[in-house]
Amino acid sequence: QAGTLSGNPIAMAAGLTMLTFLNNNPEVYSELDHIGSKLTEGIKSINNELGLNYTVNNLGSMYSLFFTDQAVFDFDTAKKADTALFGKYFQAMLKRGVYLAPSQFESLFLSTALKDELIDQILVAHKEAMVEIMGL
């Protein structure tokens, strides 16, 4: 595995420490599931409210928003998403202080640091961004 920190002793120690923590605190996974569900269900709800039928994939602490009304389950289906529109969304969210992965093809990883107040702020930013980029 190539990468900046691959094989780095400090990175390996940090990774092992995190895996040990997660092994001894399985409730973290339930918390991440709650965070992921709250955020993605909120995004879907806002999109429905605005009459937008875009795909949101979610599994535990990962999610992706695809600007397509088709199911996305592999690279070929992901490529059908409107990447130019994703770029506008990325910039609109960035302007609102929400930092997303800059590529349509990257998953977003959630953290237990995302408490309900922050999720609510992200959802407000999402709605504002969608209204802006869709001209609603």
pLDDT tens digit sequence for 13-61 = 999 999 999 999 999 999 999 999 999 999 999 999 999 999 999 998 8
* CATH class given for the domain over 27-134: alpha beta
Locate the domains of the chain by residue range: 27-134
Contacts of 47 (CB under 8 A, 6+ apart): 53, 54, 56, 130
Q: Which residues pair with 56 in a beta bridge?
A: 65
Q: What is the pTM of this model?
A: 0.87
pLDDT confidence bin for 99, thresholds 50/70/90: very high
